[in-house]
Amino acid sequence: MNRIVHPIEQESYRRLRARLDTSHFPPLTRAVVERVIHSAADLEYATDLVTDEDDLVRSHAALHAGAPVVVDVEMVGAGITRRETVCRLRDAGSVAGLTRSAHAIRLAYEQVGPGALWVIGNAPTALEELLTLDAAPALVIGLPVGFVGAVESKAALRESGLPAVSNVSEKGGSAVAAAALNALLYHPTSPEETP
């Protein structure tokens, strides 16, 4: 993806790297960690994020091959500016014991089927619902924020064995979830490309 990087962003990354050595991370993990840190100005994400480079390599390929991207809230979708996303929250309601966010995930799965990249940055119940489906995701970016259910839902994601990006603390949110997906979008698909 050809992308013009603004000088402010370049300077921000220079300062980030001056404060934190990320050179030991594999390429896609480094891209995700740095973009999440950049989005939140929070260096603690370097030790809080949980990723697997092999999962990121496969999901990067799926993303660039056109796999759908599903988000739990429109705010996450708004942060993903170079790709159409699916968000069914406006169509959802609190039904059958589900929160509105969980119902939206069910509706989105009915729309996109298996193989999507799921980006959850707001509602732990959305992540919990995704884990009950046989979604066969290309990747789950599970970074819901909050003091109720966020840590537990992210732990359940890691225990599921699904390809994932998560973190261990209560931190998260729309901006960091979108940033993790954008890191994969912006990362070169061939050695000749430059980020």
Whether 38 is a known active-site residue: answer yes
Indicate which residue of 6, 24, 38, 187 is catalytic. Answer: 38
Please report, in tens digits, the pLDDT of each residue of the chain (195 residues total): 567 778 888 888 888 999 999 999 999 999 999 999 999 999 999 999 999 999 999 999 999 999 999 999 999 999 998 899 999 999 998 787 889 999 999 999 999 999 999 999 999 999 999 999 999 999 999 999 999 999 999 999 999 999 999 999 999 999 999 999 999 999 887 544 434
60: number of Cβ within 10 Å? 22
Q: What's the whole-model pTM score?
A: 0.92
Burial letters for 93-114: b for 16+ Cβ neighbours within 10 Å, e otherwise?
eeeeebbbbbbbbbbbbeebee
Give the span between the Cα atoms of 161 and 139, in whole angstroms.
11
Query: Positive or negative, the Cα torsion across 185, 149, 50, 162?
Result: negative
Contact (CB, 8 A) for 63 and 69: yes
